[in-house]
Chain A
Amino acid sequence: MSISARQLTMLAGASALYALAMGQAAAQRQLVMYCGVDEKWCRAVSTAYQKETGVQVDMTRMSAGEVYARVRAEKDNPHGDVWFGGTGDPHLQAADEGVTEAYQSPMLPKLRDWAQRQAERSHNRTVGLYLGALGFGYNTEDLKKRKLTAPACWADLIKPEFKGEVQMADPNSSGTAWTMLATIVQLMGEDKAFDYMKALHRNINEYTKAGAAPALAAGQGETLIGIAFQHDLIDVAEHNKPVAVVSPCEGTGYEIGSMSLVKGAKHMDEAKKFYDWALTADAQKIAATTGSFQIPSNPATPVPPEAPDLSKIKLIEYDFAKYGSSETRKRLLGKWTDEVKNAPK
């Protein structure tokens, strides 16, 4: 077999044409979704919607921070249509900067009040999709082997016997860890909170990049205790991993996972239809089937028994306006990085 020069030229030409054709938008009804929740949930939602409506869903799963960075970077020429899920702060920031679109879904009055408040805060640029409470989990096998008492409160985590055994994400890169930092500050007041974080720092073995990573690490025994959202921990435990989920006795903070429409979306009509659909009970019950046990914003959604019992969780009055603002965030993150993260162990 030999390739002649002419064939080679033709090949190059053909692939150039093909590259051109690839750039053409497909005529089929489609929707570009940036998805900030667990990958399995993202996929189940997009395939369910695709099955039901025939709309082709292009889903990219990214962390909330990545979606926010992407939406901001693309604001002059948006490629995404709908931003599904992910912790609420970046949604509020995006609403603040006007890179997302205001839309009042007919479903809105039917939602739980915290979901509606999320919409009010953002002037309808985002809406609450689910509520997830913060907590931590420990590896039961490991704990038994070491004959340690199970931690029950935030205060337990700074005990010396857990030195090098606690894992949390880096709040600079993870919304989960930021929620934790803001929760501790709201629980204890700023000065005491930083004393606590410094004490905790001695017990931390790694600040991971992703928020859910400590939950998995605890399940796999890579760490004894992992600080994460309770639904992430339950998901790990559901996979036959020896993890017990703890809702801290002092009270804990939470996130409001949200959904926004990208301003200037290329498929705005489809996006709005999807938005309404995602707020229905039928759509929200998909979450639990894929192992995501957040509290859904539509009260008609059946809550599976595995889901955390809200009545047993002490939720703090989380001040989203203050701890969502970039000013507070920048200051606290800077302080945390200087005084805690880089501090000697």
Chain B
Amino acid sequence: MKLPRFLIVWLAIGCAGVLVLPWYGLDDGTSLPALFAAGPWLPPLALPLLVAAWASLGCTRPHALIAAAITGLLWLAVEGLLIGQHGWAYAWLDTLFGAGPSQPAMGWGAVCYALGCLMLLAYGLARLGACKGDVFVVSAILLVVGLIALFVFYPVICILSSAVRDNDGGFAPWLFATKLASPSIWGLDCVFGVRSCGVAWNTVAEATLVGLLTTLLGLAFALVALRTRLPMKKLLRALSILPIITPPFVIGLALILLFGRAGVVTVWLANMFDIPRSRWIYGMPGITIAQVLAFTPIAMMVLLGVLQGVAPSLEEASQTLRASSWYTFRTVTWPLIRPGLANAFLIGFIESMADFANPLVIGGNFNVLSTDIFFAVVGASHDQGRAAVLAIVLLAFTLTAFLAQRVWLGRRSYATMGGKGHTGVPATLPAGVRASCYAVIVPWLLLTVAVYGMILVGGFVVSVGRDNTPTLEYFWTAFSIERGVGGWFLSGSAWNSFIVTIEVALIAMPFTAVLGILTAYLLDRQQFPGRRAFEFLAMMSFAIPGTVIGVAYILAFNVPPVSLTGTGTIIAISFAFRNMPVGIRAGLANLSQIDRSLDEASLTLGAHSFCTLMRVIVPMLRPAIVTAMVYSFVRAVTAVSAVIFLVTGHYNLATVYIVGRADVGEYGVAIVYSAMLVLFMMLVLVVIQLIVGERRIGRRTEAPAIEAPGLALVQG
């Protein structure tokens, strides 16, 4: 029997990893392949490959193949984790075996070896009948799971384990207990006394408040958009895009310039009405306003989808039975949208918890977990253990909310958006509800206009409010070009970070899209054991706050076996995995519109699932791919929390740079740079809109509504 091509290729790649490619170091390429390298623990890696080759010959022995591949992977993980750059990675090994050997970080050889073993494992499993024996599906699942394990799970485990160590790396569980029980986290003094409360309660209170407010505002917008005759659809669409392309902290910055103690509005009020100037905006009020401004459109998109799914025929029936419009709203519409409200609330809750930049800029003395984590690492106390403890607390909150959202609501909230066409006209709003919607929306719109006006104008005057002379000084500081001995160079302070940001965002873009669409395909089209767990894993990175993932990446990827810090690669990877849920959502939404009979036809005609995916599904998924790519790009440009720990001199990012400027009060440069970023991304969106056009594959008018949950994942 002929050896299948799949096996030949992956055996060859695995062997190349051991025999040809440098085992250590991703960038120097000077180290030897595993078989010839110094460490005696490396040559045994070749054994599983030999066994696998034997198992593939003649009649394939899947059990032996699986055993060999698993052994190879395990040995790789064990030797990598135990032998560090300076001897044993764990002190107890020193006491057991004495001074240990050392090795640098893994390189391309190790990458190929791991990939080879993973694919051999997939083949073995498929031969045993997993996923109806489809090798492509099994290998795709294993690949995605492996990547998630390496880039999401492993870092999170690192942070968990660092919480039980002291600053020098020694094992100290009692320290963990004291840190976790610290009154600075859990203190309730603000309830009983005058001291401030623990940071955990601050965060929960803030997130709950923001969740409630965004949900209410979002509901008001959705109701006005769908249930009144106001021509607002276009405006709403534009509004929903704004927070996506706005770097998150910019809103806080604009609020300070408007309502700070020396803000434009404050000074005006003081001059006109003698209202004393105060610093009320710093702290909870400021964070709340900034986050509500930023996250309301997300709640709005979710609720638009839910409201569109409420069948008007039900409301019509109610009215035919002579119920008043208020009674109809209370007894029919409201119960139907309730799950959607809970969903919107939880998303606002998670977003607020994960938000790092607004509390940093406008938080004043009000501490929240995400900023406290940052200052535990970089502050004068340099307590990484405390950072890890705080990260665990934050992670526990967001994961609980995320779990609640999935378990409690599941898919139920969208179930009303079934394919059946709805007849009838939606009920109009009761007058009271309509009036309160308007009362809420109009001030909010004014505020939005003021904030964005400030962002666009603020960078081009000397000092907003105090000295409104137009100036290009800040613009030139950021974007000037000079000439030196080496010819022209970009001397403006913003160039480096601007170019690098776009570079890294572009690199992350295809990975995010491929990973997201592939995962969506597996989730939508394949049945396999553990599918729900797989979905949860893939979506989980949405619930891991950026600062947590930032600290985790430093802990996990600064030292062997996988050393990536200081490279652009790690930034791109962090983007790819943080934004993956967006790609999955976009893919799922579009896949559900493509009839399965198409891929069944392809399979019946003898095409493999890979061929079907590439030839049939991917071409039809073009809108989803474009959506995933665009969002991945935009989110990468606006992200700040995860990468603030990962940037270096060469790989400095725009948002991190802006936050740094704002933090020392250089609002001019910060605002002008933000305005440029917002304009640049608007340009990108418009260009893509022009290239792709409005054409959509979906035949249903609800298509945009189904994408709403996808949008909901866009921030974070």
List of A residues within 8 angstroms of B375 by Cβ: 170, 172-173, 209
List of B residues within 8 angstroms of A174 by Cβ: 379-380
From residue B263, how far is it (CB to closest CB) to chain A in Å?
9
Q: When chains A and B are docked, how far (Å) is the Cα of A329 from the Cα of B184?
A: 19
Contact of A221 among B105, B282, B466, B649 (CB under 8 A): B466
Query: A210-B663, A220-B262 known; A76 and B649 CB under 8 Å?
Result: no
Q: When chains A and B are docked, how far (Å) is the Cα of A40 from the Cα of B494?
A: 12
Q: Does B438 contact A (CB under 8 A)?
A: no
Residues in B81-117 with C-beta less than 8 Å from chain A:
85-86, 105
List of B residues within 8 angstroms of A1 by Cβ: 691
List of B residues within 8 angstroms of A330 by Cβ: 381
- Which of A127-135, A301-309, A337-345 contacts its partner? A337-345
Q: Are A221 and B666 in contact (CB under 8 A)?
A: no
Q: Are A5 and B378 in contact (CB under 8 A)?
A: no
Query: A73-B554, A344-B195 known; A3 and B625 CB under 8 Å?
Result: yes
- Which of B293-301, B420-428, B567-575, B599-607 contacts its partner? B567-575
Q: Does A207 contact B (CB under 8 A)?
A: yes
Q: Does B59 contact A (CB under 8 A)?
A: no
Q: Are A19 and B569 in contact (CB under 8 A)?
A: yes
Q: Does A39 contact B (CB under 8 A)?
A: yes
Residue of B nearest to A236 (CB): B665
From residue A150, how far is it (CB to closest CB) to chain B in Å?
19
List of B residues within 8 angstroms of A186 by Cβ: none
Residues in B451-468 with C-beta less than 8 Å from chain A:
462-463, 466-467
Q: Does A296 contact B (CB under 8 A)?
A: no
List of B residues within 8 angstroms of A34 by Cβ: 649
Q: When chains A and B are docked, how far (Å) is the Cα of A39 from the Cα of B492?
A: 12
Q: Are B648 and A60 in contact (CB under 8 A)?
A: yes
Q: Are A73 and B665 in contact (CB under 8 A)?
A: no
- Which of B61-69, B303-311, B612-620, B676-684 contacts its partner? B612-620
Q: When chains A and B are docked, how far (Å) is the Cα of A74 from the Cα of B433?
A: 58
Q: Are A66 and B665 in contact (CB under 8 A)?
A: no
Q: Does A149 contact B (CB under 8 A)?
A: no
Mask of B277-293 contacts with A, CB within 8 angstroms, 1/0? 10100100000000000
Contact of A77 among B85, B194, B614, B622 (CB under 8 A): B85
Q: Does A275 contact B (CB under 8 A)?
A: no
List of A residues within 8 angstroms of B660 by Cβ: 39, 61-62
From residue B92, how far is it (CB to closest CB) to chain A in Å?
20
Q: When chains A and B are docked, how far (Å) is the Cα of A32 from the Cα of B651?
A: 11
Q: Does B448 contact A (CB under 8 A)?
A: no
From residue B715, how far is it (CB to closest CB) to chain A in Å?
23
Residues in B332-372 with C-beta less than 8 Å from chain A:
360, 364-365, 371
Q: Does A311 contact B (CB under 8 A)?
A: no
Q: Does B26 contact A (CB under 8 A)?
A: yes
Q: When chains A and B are docked, how far (Å) is the Cα of A65 from the Cα of B384?
A: 13
Q: Does B565 contact A (CB under 8 A)?
A: yes
Q: Are B486 and A217 in contact (CB under 8 A)?
A: no
Q: Are B559 and A77 in contact (CB under 8 A)?
A: yes
Q: When chains A and B are docked, how far (Å) is the Cα of A234 from the Cα of B597?
A: 74
Query: A11-B510, A18-B507, A220-B262 known; A58 and B486 CB under 8 Å?
Result: no
From residue B100, how far is it (CB to closest CB) to chain A in Å?
15
Q: Are B484 and A69 in contact (CB under 8 A)?
A: no
List of B residues within 8 angstroms of A72 by Cβ: 382
Residue of B nearest to A58 (CB): B649
From residue B687, how far is it (CB to closest CB) to chain A in Å?
13
Q: When chains A and B are docked, how far (Å) is the Cα of A237 from the Cα of B612?
A: 68
Q: Are A22 and B463 in contact (CB under 8 A)?
A: no
List of B residues within 8 angstroms of A151 by Cβ: none
Q: Are A65 and B380 in contact (CB under 8 A)?
A: yes
Q: When chains A and B are docked, how far (Å) is the Cα of A219 from the Cα of B466?
A: 11
Q: When chains A and B are docked, how far (Å) is the Cα of A315 from the Cα of B102?
A: 50
List of A residues within 8 angstroms of B572 by Cβ: 19
Secondary structure of the A side of the interface? mixed
Query: A8-B618, A343-B195 known; A69 and B463 CB under 8 Å?
Result: no
Contact of A23 among B378, B493, B567, B625 (CB under 8 A): B567
Q: When chains A and B are docked, how far (Å) is the Cα of A12 from the Cα of B518?
A: 13
From residue B440, how far is it (CB to closest CB) to chain A in Å?
30
Q: Does B268 contact A (CB under 8 A)?
A: no
List of B residues within 8 angstroms of A3 by Cβ: 622, 625
Residue of A nearest to B554 (CB): A73
From residue B655, how far is it (CB to closest CB) to chain A in Å?
14
Q: When chains A and B are docked, how far (Å) is the Cα of A69 from the Cα of B365?
A: 23
Query: A60-B649, A344-B195 known; A23 and B379 CB under 8 Å?
Result: no
List of B residues within 8 angstroms of A63 by Cβ: 378
Residues in B573-623 with C-beta less than 8 Å from chain A:
614-615, 618-619, 622
Q: When chains A and B are docked, how far (Å) is the Cα of A54 from the Cα of B615?
A: 52
Q: Are B377 and A69 in contact (CB under 8 A)?
A: yes
Contact of A206 among B86, B282, B503 (CB under 8 A): B282
Q: When chains A and B are docked, how far (Å) is the Cα of A76 from the Cα of B503?
A: 28
From residue B616, how far is it (CB to closest CB) to chain A in Å?
9
- Which of A43-51, A112-120, A191-199, A245-253 contacts its partner? A43-51
Q: When chains A and B are docked, how far (Å) is the Cα of A219 from the Cα of B467?
A: 13
Q: Does B272 contact A (CB under 8 A)?
A: no
Residues in B355-407 with C-beta less than 8 Å from chain A:
360, 364-365, 371, 375, 377-382
Query: A18-B507, A23-B568, A220-B665 known; A172 and B622 CB under 8 Å?
Result: no
Q: Are A2 and B569 in contact (CB under 8 A)?
A: no
From residue A289, how far is it (CB to closest CB) to chain B in Å?
14
Q: When chains A and B are docked, how far (Å) is the Cα of A50 from the Cα of B666?
A: 25
Q: When chains A and B are docked, how far (Å) is the Cα of A194 from the Cα of B558?
A: 40
Q: Are B279 and A32 in contact (CB under 8 A)?
A: no
Residues in B616-657 with C-beta less than 8 Å from chain A:
618-619, 622, 625, 647-650, 652
Q: Does A104 contact B (CB under 8 A)?
A: no
Residues in A203-226 with C-beta less than 8 Å from chain B:
205-207, 209-210, 212-213, 215-217, 219-223
A-B contact pairs, 12 of them (CB 8 A): A11-B510, A15-B507, A22-B568, A47-B484, A47-B491, A54-B486, A60-B649, A76-B85, A205-B279, A210-B665, A240-B467, A342-B189
A206-B282, A207-B365, A345-B194 are known contacts; what are 16 more A-B pairs with Cβ within 8 Å? Answer: A3-B622, A23-B27, A43-B491, A51-B485, A60-B647, A60-B652, A206-B364, A209-B360, A210-B663, A212-B664, A216-B665, A220-B466, A221-B277, A222-B256, A223-B279, A342-B184
Using a CB–CB cutoff of 8 Å, the interface residues on chain B facing chain A are 26-27, 85-86, 105, 184, 187, 189, 193-196, 256, 260-262, 277, 279, 282, 360, 364-365, 371, 375, 377-382, 462-463, 466-467, 477, 482, 484-486, 489, 491, 493, 503, 506-507, 509-511, 514, 554, 558-559, 563, 565-569, 572, 614-615, 618-619, 622, 625, 647-650, 652, 660-661, 663-666, 691
